[in-house]
Structure 1
Amino acid sequence: MTFHSQAIKQQVQICLIALAFFTRIPIPADTPYSPELLNKANRYFALIGLVVGLVSAASFWLSQLVLPVSVAVIIAMASSLLLTGAFHEDGLADVFDGFGGGWQPEQKLEIMKDSRLGTYGAAALFVVLAIKWSSLSALAEISPSLAAMALFCLHGLSRAAAASLIFSYPYVRLDEDSKVKPLANQQSQQDLWVLIITSLFILLLLPLPMALLLTIALLLVRYACGRWFTHQLGGYTGDCLGACQQLAEVVGYLIILAMVAPQ
């Protein structure tokens, strides 16, 4: 086997590991696994988002052919939740429970490790899911095809924004025993460039003004989340990445809706 074929095979294996870690989609049992390979899997976070987005968008599009768009949006959201096992929504809830209920970083991390859902987490989940449903439903009333495109693109772009935090902020070592500890906690320049190139591909699918405004908005969400996590914990955890993904996704829907809604 040549060097190039070996390199391609390894990238396919890393992509499969990312698919298995971030979704419930089964992969071949003989796929090799190691902490080192998992640590590189974050480079394909946005690509996995496109897979989730494609399933969600397809669920919406098929459903809206026979059902009201508001119901079709619920089905699209449910499909992504089932496909990911509510992985990122769980991170969002844990972050709000921890940040809302703890005073010191150690207390916040201890709360975040608790599998029980608290008041802060439940409220955050309700608000974010409600905004997703209402914004996507309003968008679908204007243009079902644009709503489907928003689902496809924002699942990928929001994950790129979240995964890129790994490159800029320290992993919280107090979180060593967390349930999300296996998540990649280092990122190379190559990992970051894969995320950027994937994001550029997604943005090319959108009208230029929308792509530019989404880029600015998601960069601001990324910056705000990074500062917030650093202030609260001194860095990020896997739950923080899930929270950033959810916030970036919902902000993206609102931006698209604001651009196309009748004034």
Structure 2
Amino acid sequence: MPEAVAGFLLALVWLTRLPVGGFLPVDPPPLARAAWAFPLVGLVVGSIAAAVFAATMALGLPQALAAILAVAAMVWLSGGLHEDGLADLADGMGGPNRERRLEIMRDSRIGSYGALTLGLVTAIRITALAVLPVPAAIGAFLLFPRCRAP
């Protein structure tokens, strides 16, 4: 298998819930050598979310429902990877000093800052997609597939 294909598959395995691990070679490349494929994985996730959005709209369902389903598809496809990081960051910012903030961010439990931040950011994402013209919303999935924590 060409290394580029193996790298792309490895990136899919690490960054999504897509069941492609069985296609990896026995000795896959190191993850660092697959980093070039991370934006392509974002494009795959965004394309699937755009397809969910477009299909929901084609069924004549409300745009707000299409936005909810498409964002849910993105979260499921990525395993909530970005959402988890954002919640950890928000929780950690409540710590009084650097050491305590890092300790809070390593804790697997979600705190009130993390829960509030996830709720607000998800509401903003859904609302933005619900009010954009449909072609612009579909384009947003392809150009900006993930909201990333700073």
TM-score for the superposition, normalised by structure 1:
0.53
Are 1:105 and 2:95 counterparts?
no
CA distances 1:172-221 after superposition (whole Å, capped 9, x unpaired): xxxxxxxxxxxxxxxxxxxxxxxxxxxxxxxxxxxxxxxxxxxxxxxxxx
Mapped contact 1:93–1:125 kept (Cα < 8 A): yes
The CA deviation at 1:28 is 4.2
The CA deviation at 1:84 is 0.7
CA distance, structure 2, for counterparts of residue 33 and residue 105 of structure 1: 37
Structure 2 stretches of 5 or more lacking a match? none
1:40-59 superposed matches below 5 A: 40-59=33-52
- The residue aligned with 1:61 is 54
- The residue aligned with 1:243 is 149
Change in 2 beyond 3 A, CA 1:28/1:123: closer
Are 1:75 and 2:65 counterparts?
no
2:129 to 136, 144, 153: 136
TM-score for the superposition, normalised by structure 2:
0.90
CA distances 1:196-249 after superposition (whole Å, capped 9, x unpaired): xxxxxxxxxxxxxxxxxxxxxxxxxxxxxxxxxxxxxxxxxxxxxx513xxxxx
* 1:25 alignment partner, SS class: coil
CA distance, structure 2, for counterparts of residue 134 and residue 16 of structure 1: 33
- The residue aligned with 1:86 is 80
The CA deviation at 1:126 is 1.2
Are 1:146 and 2:52 counterparts?
no
Structure 1 stretches of 5 or more lacking a match? 1-5, 159-241, 245-263
Report the count of equivalent residues.
Answer: 147
The CA deviation at 1:104 is 2.6
* 2:28 alignment partner, SS class: coil
One-letter code of the match for 1:149?
G
Change in 2 beyond 3 A, CA 1:108/1:60: same
1:70-219 superposed matches below 5 A: 70-100=64-94, 102-139=95-132, 143-155=133-145
